């Protein structure tokens, strides 16, 4: 009985966290007029928002094409870099593979805001390090030659930032490929180049397309770089459009019109998600073709060794080393030019004497830990329910939890905002609204714990029942201990996702619930570059040990060299 209540509770929480905010979003798209809150007395049902948004030529002239160019461009760059890196690490005798694998994870864990601000410090047209260096080397004058505040700048930065995630997925795809397939081509008389194009790429195609679609989905929802690099460049994409609809300087938030924009992108995201699901199934069909005799042989790089190392080095320099250095330097000098720079702890002293900084630190950890805890618990319970019971609603539950991958975080943040604006329970503006908003990502847990549950044969649980244990005892003494590693992984992953989060706390920010990423952005915006860089440096210092933790425990099985 207690068991049934707990399961039902988990299902209700999951559905509530994911779908209720979306229902409010859907409703808001059809509520007006604009000077009322969507569900305030006085507002009414209307199609005005839809007409305003979808009849406005600006949507078709700037937002849609900009979003498309941004997504297509950066996904292309991500793919070229990530595939090359994954292939080098997994299939060649590249030296230092293991260390390189670890280093590539850096931009995955460091919040993108931190990288974004670091890159503006590197490539801003006037004072950016890279520009200063180039001007010094070639004796040119004036600003430039590189201007990061352009569409190409935005695309390149986003491409680099998304690389590690796609890299991990591609490594997994490459690893599941049976190397005999390529060897059979060699012994059939095909040269390595022909083999690569006729066998390797086609066999990997579904395994490559699935990450490609996921990367597109994730790029669509990117907000950090479009805000920090795209906005000064006057490049508006869908996420920033939504944000400025709600945070315009000179007018009231336009909830209805923002919701109408969000609808379109929600539909696109869900279509991409369906496509992703289809590709994953196809990839699995190809993988099951492998049999015994697995023996990965690594391609000898020979004289390509040096160029390969240069490529990896260049990526790591721009994605990890230079950002970390520029943040450290700027935090110690306050962001002045080279010649006037003196090292001092001023920025750190100012930062640590400000109670708002400490509050943000506490907020960041509370929100990341609580939301990771909620999502892990709820996700584990519903995946048990989906796999082990015959409960009628389990397919719906499965669908809704999977849906959570596809909801862009701007939309999630916005939907939660609408819900608690209308629901007077006093969480609006506190850190608890952030906890509720972050917790929708239960798909991470359901995926990991389903994989773990499938390893635990149902007979282990049945044996426990036969031995006289009730449901709760079986869960507590048999299932939980066996699932602990998967649950810990899921908690750690979600904790890092929450720690990096910038979009949702920006959407829902008030003076009380700042987190570190928001603080860093505000400092940078107020031209307190030194302090902003100090926050970034501290974040990097916190993340570095976590990278090693992750490498050791989460990705340990990938250490195959």
Partner 1 sequence: MLKVKSLHKTYQGPDGSFHAVRGVSFEIPQGGFFTLLGPSGCGKTTTLRCIAGLEDADGGSITIGEQLVADPTNGVHMPAFRRNIGMVFQSYAIWPHMDVFSNVAYPLRVARPRPSHDEIETSVMEALKLVGMESLAKRSATKLSGGQQQRIAFARALVRQPQLLLLDEPLSNLDAKLREQMRFELQELVARTGVTTLYVTHDQAEALAMSDQVAVMSGGQIVQSGDPRAVYERPQDAQVADFLGIANFMPGRISALGDSKSLSVKLDGSIGVLRLPDLNSFAPETAVRVVFRPEDVVMRTAAADDTVEGRIERINFQGTVSECHVRAGETLVRMLIHPSVRVQRGDQIWLAVDPTRCVVFPAESVALR
Q: Which is nearer to partner 1, 194 or 460 (CB)?
A: 194
Interface stretch with partner 1, choices 181-189, 241-249, 451-459, 489-497 (CB under 8 A): 181-189
Buried b (16+ CB within 10 A) or exposed e, 369-397: bbbbebbbbbbbbbbbbbbeeebeebeeb
Q: Is 484 in the site for partner 1 (CB under 8 A)?
A: no
Tell me if residue 157 falls in helix, strand or coil: helix
User: What is d(CA 283, CA 210) in angstroms, rounded to the nearest whole number?
Assistant: 8
Q: Is 187 in the site for partner 1 (CB under 8 A)?
A: yes
Per the CB < 8 A criterion, the answer to whether 167 and 86 are in contact is yes
Q: Which is nearer to partner 1, 292 or 390 (CB)?
A: 292
Per the CB < 8 A criterion, the answer to whether 119 and 229 are in contact is yes
Within 13 Å of residue 253, how many CA atoms lie on the same side as its CB?
18
Least distance (Å) between residue 295 CB and partner 1? 8
Cα 436–chain centre separation? 18
Interface stretch with partner 1, choices 79-87, 250-258, 289-297, 389-397 (CB under 8 A): 289-297
Least distance (Å) between residue 555 CB and partner 1? 17
Kind and range of the H or E run holding 44: strand 44-45
User: What is d(CA 245, CA 413) in angstroms, rounded to the nearest whole number?
Assistant: 14
Which 291-320 residues touch partner 1, going by CB under 8 A? 291-295, 297
Interface stretch with partner 1, choices 198-206, 409-417, 486-494, 540-548 (CB under 8 A): 198-206
Per the CB < 8 A criterion, the answer to whether 15 and 400 are in contact is yes
Per the CB < 8 A criterion, the answer to whether 94 and 172 are in contact is no
Q: Is 202 in the site for partner 1 (CB under 8 A)?
A: yes
Least distance (Å) between residue 278 CB and partner 1? 16
Q: Contact with partner 1 (CB under 8 A): which of 78, 158, 178, 474? A: 178
Residue from 538, 126, 534, 120 nearest 330 by CA = 534
Q: Which is nearer to partner 1, 294 or 345 (CB)?
A: 294
Q: Which is nearer to partner 1, 23 or 289 (CB)?
A: 289
Q: Is 409 in the site for partner 1 (CB under 8 A)?
A: no
Q: Which is nearer to partner 1, 195 or 409 (CB)?
A: 195
Q: Is 99 in the site for partner 1 (CB under 8 A)?
A: no
User: What is d(CA 339, CA 165) in angstroms, rounded to the nearest whole number?
Assistant: 39
Interface stretch with partner 1, choices 24-32, 190-198, 317-325, 517-525 (CB under 8 A): 190-198
Interface stretch with partner 1, choices 133-141, 212-220, 283-291, 490-498 (CB under 8 A): 283-291
Alpha carbon distances (Å) from 281 to 96, 286, 438, 453? 34, 9, 28, 20
Q: Is 205 in the site for partner 1 (CB under 8 A)?
A: yes
**Size of residue set near partner 1 by CB under 8 A:** 31
Q: Is 454 in the site for partner 1 (CB under 8 A)?
A: no
φ, ψ at 58 (rounded to 5°): -60, -35
Interface stretch with partner 1, choices 17-25, 120-128, 281-289, 362-370 (CB under 8 A): 281-289
Within 13 Å of residue 75, how many CA atoms lie on the same side as its CB?
21
Q: Contact with partner 1 (CB under 8 A): which of 92, 290, 346, 430? A: 290
Least distance (Å) between residue 73 CB and partner 1? 29
Least distance (Å) between residue 100 CB and partner 1? 15
Buried b (16+ CB within 10 A) or exposed e, 11-48: bebbbebbbebbebbbbbbbbbebebbbbeeebeeeee
Alpha carbon distances (Å) from 105 to 74, 76, 190, 310, 543? 18, 19, 35, 18, 10
Q: Which is nearer to partner 1, 293 or 481 (CB)?
A: 293
Q: Contact with partner 1 (CB under 8 A): which of 192, 296, 393, 470? A: 192
Q: Is 284 in the site for partner 1 (CB under 8 A)?
A: no
Applying CB under 8 A, the residues found at the interface with partner 1 are 178, 180-181, 183-192, 194-195, 198-199, 202-203, 205, 285-286, 289-295, 297, 561
């Amino acid at each position: 009985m207690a068991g049934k209540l707990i399961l039902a509770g988990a299902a209700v929480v999951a559905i509530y966290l994911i779908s209720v905010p979306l229902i409010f979003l859907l409703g808001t798209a059809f509520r007006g007029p604009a000077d009322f809150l969507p569900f305030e007395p006085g507002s009414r049902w209307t199609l005005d928002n839809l007409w305003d948004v979808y009849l406005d030529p600006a949507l078709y002239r700037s937002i849609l094409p900009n979003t498309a160019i941004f997504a297509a461009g950066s996904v292309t760059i991500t793919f070229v870099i990530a595939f090359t890196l994954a292939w080098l690490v997994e299939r060649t005798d590249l030296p230092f593979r293991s260390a390189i694998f670890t280093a590539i994870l850096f931009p995955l864990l460091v919040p993108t805001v931190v990288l974004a601000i670091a890159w503006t410090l590197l490539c801003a047209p006037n004072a950016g390090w890279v520009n200063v260096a180039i001007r010094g080397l070639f004796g040119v004058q004036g600003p430039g030659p590189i201007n990061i505040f352009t569409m190409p700048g935005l695309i390149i930065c986003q491409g680099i930032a998304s690389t590690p995630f796609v890299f991990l997925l591609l490594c997994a795809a490459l690893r599941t490929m049976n190397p005999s397939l390529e060897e059979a081509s060699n012994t059939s008389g095909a040269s390595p180049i022909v083999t690569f194009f006729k066998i390797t790429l086609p066999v990997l195609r579904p395994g490559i397309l699935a990450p490609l679609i996921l990367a597109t989905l994730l790029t669509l929802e990117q907000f950090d770089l479009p805000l920090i690099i795209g906005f000064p460049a006057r490049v508006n994409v869908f996420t920033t459009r939504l944000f400025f609809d709600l945070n315009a300087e000179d007018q009231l938030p336009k909830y209805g019109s923002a919701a109408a924009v969000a609808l379109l992108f929600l539909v696109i995201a869900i279509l991409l998600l369906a496509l992703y699901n289809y590709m994953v199934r196809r990839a699995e069909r190809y993988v099951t073709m492998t049999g015994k005799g697995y023996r990965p042989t690594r391609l000898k790089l020979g004289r390509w060794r040096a160029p390969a190392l240069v490529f990896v080095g260049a990526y790591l320099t721009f994605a990890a080393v230079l950002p970390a250095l520029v943040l450290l330097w700027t935090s110690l000098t306050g962001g002045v030019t080279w010649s006037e720079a003196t090292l001092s702890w001023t920025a750190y002293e100012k930062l640590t004497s400000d109670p708002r900084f400490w509050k943000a630190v506490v907020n960041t950890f509370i929100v990341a830990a609580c939301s990771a805890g909620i999502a892990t618990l709820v996700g584990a319970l519903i995946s048990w329910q989906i796999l082990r019971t015959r409960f009628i609603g389990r397919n719906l539950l499965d669908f809704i939890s999977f849906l959570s991958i596809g909801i862009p975080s701007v939309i999630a943040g916005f939907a939660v905002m609408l819900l608690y604006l209308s629901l007077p329970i006093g969480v609006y503006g506190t850190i608890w609204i952030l906890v509720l908003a972050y917790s929708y990502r239960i798909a991470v847990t359901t995926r990991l714990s389903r994989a773990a549950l499938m390893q635990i044969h149902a007979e282990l649980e049945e044996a426990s029942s036969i031995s006289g244990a009730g449901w709760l005892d079986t869960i507590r003494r048999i299932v939980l201990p066996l699932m602990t590693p998967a649950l810990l992984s899921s908690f750690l992953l979600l904790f890092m996702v929450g720690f990096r989060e910038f979009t949702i706390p920006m959407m829902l920010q008030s003076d009380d619930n700042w987190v570190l990423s928001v603080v860093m952005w505000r400092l940078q915006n107020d031209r307190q570059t030194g302090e902003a860089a100090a926050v970034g440096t501290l974040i990097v210092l916190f993340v570095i040990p976590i990278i090693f933790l992750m490498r050791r425990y989460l990705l340990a099985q990938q250490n195959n060299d």
